[in-house]
Amino acid sequence: MHSTINSHSHPIHNALSRNLIFTHGKGGVGKTVVSQAIALSLAKQGARTLWVTLEDPTLPAGEIKQVETFLWHMNCDFTSAFEEYAAMKIGVSQLTRIFLKNKLIQYLSQAAPGVHDLVLLGKIWFERTHYAHIVVDMPSTGYGLALFQSTYNFVKLFRGGPLHRDAQSILETLKEPQSTGHLIVALPEEMPLRESLELNAFLAEIFPQNPAAFLVNRTFPTVLQENQEELSPDSWPSPVAHSIEEYARKRFILENYNMRLWMDQKIPFGKLDFIPPPPTNSSHIVVQELAKQIQAKAYV
């Protein structure tokens, strides 16, 4: 059975000690609440922290708003970030307005390969000097990977100009282990665990000197006694549970059986315990409880 390393030498603690922290994973693994809980945990330690979502249609676009002591939130969107970037490069507000209203510029800003993703990452990269930590809730695996890949391709395709120089600087920061941390979040289920290995391979290809940390979310609490045998699900006479106790035991065994996908590859990983859904639809309670776990396990 895998045991979590609760010390400051844990790869998760190392990843979450950095200035830029990207949380990755497929949709539905709880990545958003985990990233928010990480940001809250860092803020509770007195670190000026920015939690970033990317183009969430349910939230105001572009605004940086303080939500807790030492904690801010930004819903990063392309339009606001592009306008800010253009203003920084042009330097004259009147010229910037003329530039942004030009239909060709509007078209190129959307159609040029990699510009959209470069601008989003660039905004996050620019804000890094204003906060001790920036925790980014990355989009689900496919789109999240495209953000890095597009910027990487942009550097290769375009060999000059301010955009190339800025893209190169962004990638250099993302490659530095002392500056950027990557955390892969999964559930204790076979498909998310397998997909996380594919995600890790992609990140390792782009950032070979900056390995990602691994975290399993919503793990069931230990229900076996010391003298009980942890049987493989293959040995069960029936997968059906006939009591709450039997369900808890079988779920615990199945989760640990699934996590062999990581253990067989000798991947150190952390765990966050399953939190029953709150009586209301508010995720705030779950975020608070996860933040307590993150602090108790010394991940931050």
pLDDT tens for 15-73 read: 999 999 999 999 899 999 999 999 999 999 999 999 999 989 888 888 899 999 999 99
Between residues 144 and 271, which one has the greater pLDDT? 271
pLDDT at 1 > cutoff 50:
no
For residue 116, how many C-alpha atoms fall within 13 Å in the half-sphere facing its CB? 14
Q: How far is CA 275 from the centre of its chain?
A: 19
Range of weakest confidence among 99-108, 165-174, 247-256: 99-108
Give the angle 222-226-230 at the CA atoms, nearest 5°.
65
Cβ neighbours for 190, distance < 8 A, ≥ 6 positions apart: 258, 261
For residue 210, what are the contacts with CB-CB under 8 A and spacing of at least 6? 174, 175, 176, 177, 180, 181, 182
Nearest to 218 by CA among 272, 141, 280, 159: 272
* Helix H or strand E encompassing 217: strand 213-219
Exposed / middle / buried, residue 106 (Cβ in 10 Å: 0-12, 13-18, 19+):
middle
Q: How high is the pLDDT of residue 5?
A: 45
pLDDT: is 135 or 228 the higher one? 135
How many CB atoms lie under 10 A from the CB of residue 223?
Answer: 15
Q: What distance in Å separates the CA atoms of residue 67 and residue 103, rounded to the nearest whole number? A: 37
The contacts found for 285-288 with CB under 8 angstroms, 24 or more apart, are 286/33, 286/37, 287/33, 287/36, 287/37, 287/40, 288/37, 288/40
pLDDT(12) > 80: yes
* Domain ranges for the chain: 11-224+266-296
The CATH homologous superfamily to which domain 11-224+266-296 belongs is P-loop containing nucleotide triphosphate hydrolases (3.40.50.300)
Residue corresponding to tokens 């940001």: 39
pLDDT of residue 224: 55
CA distance 166 to 118: 9
pLDDT by residue (tens digit) across 159-204?
777 778 888 999 999 999 999 999 999 999 999 999 999 999 999 9
Tally of helices (H runs) and strands (E runs) in the chain: 12, 8
Supply the pLDDT for residue 4. Answer: 43
Q: Sorting pLDDT into bands at 50, 70 and 90, what band is 154?
A: confident
Rounded Cα gap, residues 178 and 58, in angstroms: 33
Amino acid at position 54, single letter: L
- Taking 90 as the threshold, does the pLDDT of residue 149 lie above it? no
Name the β-bridge partners of 49.
71, 133
Q: Picking from 18-22, 208-212, 232-236, which range would have the lowest pLDDT averaged per residue?
A: 232-236
pLDDT score of 19: 98
Q: What is the pLDDT of residue 223?
A: 60
Specify the pLDDT at position 190: 94
For 200, list phi and psi in degrees, rounded to 5: -60, -40
Q: Report the pLDDT value the prediction gives residue 82, as an integer from 0 to 100.
A: 78
pTM of the shown model = 0.86
